[in-house]
Amino acid sequence: MSDNKRAGVLARKILQGFHKHYAVFQDVTQQAKTRFAEGDWHAGQYAATARISFYDQRVRETTASLRKLTQGKLDEDLWLATRKLYHQFLQFHPQAELAETFYNSVFCNLFHRRYFNNAYIFVETTLSDSIPLALETEFRSYFPVVQGMRRTLARIMGDIDFGAPYDDLSEDIRLLRKAFRQQTSAGELSTYQLRIDVLKEPFFRNKAAYVVGRIVSANRIYPFIVPVLRNASGKLYLDALITDTDQMAIIFAFARSYFMVHTRAPSALVRFLKGLMPKKTIAELYSAIGLHKQSKTEFYRDFLHHLEASNDQLVAAAGIKGMVMTVFTLPSYPYVFKVIKDEFGGGKQMSRQTVIDRYRMVKRHDRAGRMADTYEFANVAIPLDRIAPDLLDELKQTVAGSLTIENEQLVISQLFVERRMTPLNIFLEYASEAEIEAVMNDYGQAIKDMMAANIFPGDMLLKNFGLTRHKRVVFYDYDEVQYLTEMNFRPLPKAETYEQMMAPEPWYAVAPNDVFPEQLATFAVPQPALRKILLQHHPELIDAKYWQQQQENLRQGVITDVFPYPESVRFMRCVRTAAG
């Protein structure tokens, strides 16, 4: 067989593997509509977890198939021809950027990292050579001048098939129009002065669906999100209108679970969303719609470009040094990089694999808006001259087992990356009284939100929480994370004798998963003034019965409402149900 024919076989095998992956991915995504209409929230949670593993399964299958064809040996001319032909296959492909990433994953599973350059894989995207997919493939346009605003809004909601009837769409439209007038100057425009663009497919997550769009006038664009909920009778209603771009960004935040949204042209969808939320990165938006592998690709490309355009050095991250991870950052880049230490401090009794498993557990789990998403990379090469000498010394002392040096580059075998946030303990040192009050209240709410998602953070010290640019408290240290239902919450036994009262160590038996809520606040927030504020807002956090009740709720299948938007923007109704 000629090299051209062999290259054709390899390129088609990889593309077929990608097509299989995307078909399965989209199938489970499209089923979100049925799950929402039927109120099958548990099936939705299961599907969200399962979907994350689809990509790796298809990559493994494709890699195994190609390994048989190549015997694991790299024929350089053959693979140069394969990449060239694959590039041609993608010229008019609606998911070209995803197919590039799939090719990279298969190739990198097959061969040594010395071949990980743009000659053999798509380090740089080829989309810049192609005509971008039209945004119009993903949205519909509506013109109120034709039918009037009320009928236009009713048509918009009717065109989006949720698979269930509305409870009172006329009343919903009245509330929606009222909110538009109150929140935006678009409410003052006449029908002939605007156009409404709405994404064809709703975004599903947990117990809610979201309609996303924009109002276009001659002078500006007004983005909006309309959450749609399901009441106890199985009928739908519009719950709110969100027009503030910062609040929209929180709904699409890196601390939330991935949306289920059907899309034929992901690049067009992401570009539309970027127009609504310009502060969001392309990587964050791909992640938000469940394409987390593409998000990794976009992040890594952006990181490489940033290294080329900057000259500062990587340094140790601010804050108290961790006992499990060595953490560093690039001051000009808004992320932190974490490497598991060779030896854990503080008597941490866990294996390296346990730490990895817990980070991956959070990746698969409902993060409830309170746990940062994490990228996990293998064999990342960083130029040695971009690493500060002090940091390089620290890395050699703490994570030497994860390091190799190749051609003036430091190669890290396993690297976790998270959005950089201000550590909560540092923020509280210079915050105003009002800020302290708000943040300690939100810290307590963050713990409750994680509880509702069946997460026990374990180590709840303030240093393990960060503050986002929106002043939201988010947890980011996962080495002690466990499921809430696996813990044993106990009242603190009362000392009955003088010897028990004066004992230097607990006189009662303590099992590995025992937790005494009465001690949690003292341990997590040793500063009395801060602890007082926390308990003023959340006194139940030191009550074992409260934690036990949350466990019972989870075991009974209760899914607690966790709204990603403020109560103040919700429409006033007699009946309220869930969101996510």
Q: Is the dihedral of CA 469, 480, 398, 363 positive or negative?
A: negative
Neighbours of 522 (CB within 10 A): 11
Neighbours of 579 (CB within 10 A): 23
Using only the alpha carbons of the chain, give its radius of gyration: 26
The number of helix segments (H) and strand segments (E) in the chain equals 21, 19
Quote the tokens at residue 96: 């070209």
DSSP string, 359-417: HHHHHHS--TTTB---EEEEEEEEEGGGB-HHHHHHHHHH-GGGEEEETTEEEEEEEEE
Quote the tokens at residue 579: 């969101």
In degrees rounded to 5, what are phi and psi of residue 24?
A: -65, -40
DSSP string, 550-575: HHHHHHTT------SS-GGGBPP-S-
**Token match 């746990």: residue?**
371
Q: CA separation (Å) from 538 to 348, 534, 542?
A: 29, 6, 9
Q: How far apart are the first and last CA of the chain?
A: 55
Flag whether 290 is marked binding: no
Active site residue 459: no
Flag whether 494 is marked binding: no
For residues 513 and 482, the answer to whether their CB atoms sit within 8 Å is yes
Quote the tokens at residue 252: 């699409």
For residues 165 and 157, the answer to whether their CB atoms sit within 8 Å is no
Flag whether 338 is marked binding: yes
Q: CA separation (Å) from 503 to 404, 496, 520?
A: 49, 12, 20
Q: Say what the alpha-carbon torsion angle 109, 115, 121, 122 is, to the nearest 10 degrees.
A: 120
Flag whether 296 is marked binding: no
Flag whether 320 is marked binding: yes
Flag whether 84 is marked binding: no
Active-site entry in 167, 197, 239, 373:
373
Alpha helices (H) in 480-543, listed in sequence order: 498-502, 517-524, 528-537
Give the three-state DSSP class for 478. Answer: coil
Host H or E run for residue 21: helix 3-30
Spacing of C-alpha 6 from chain mean position: 39
Residues paired with 240 in a beta bridge: 570
Buried b (16+ CB within 10 A) or exposed e, 283-300: bbbbbbbbbbbbbbbbbb
Q: Measure the CA–CA gap between 31 and 25, rounded to whole angstroms.
A: 10
Flag whether 322 is marked binding: yes
**Token match 């000629």: residue?**
2
Flag whether 240 is marked binding: no
Q: Measure the CA–CA gap between 566 and 246, rounded to whole angstroms.
A: 12
Cite the annotated binding site for ATP by residue number. 317-323, 338
Just list the catalytic residues.
373
Q: Which residues are annotated as a binding site?
A: 317-323, 338
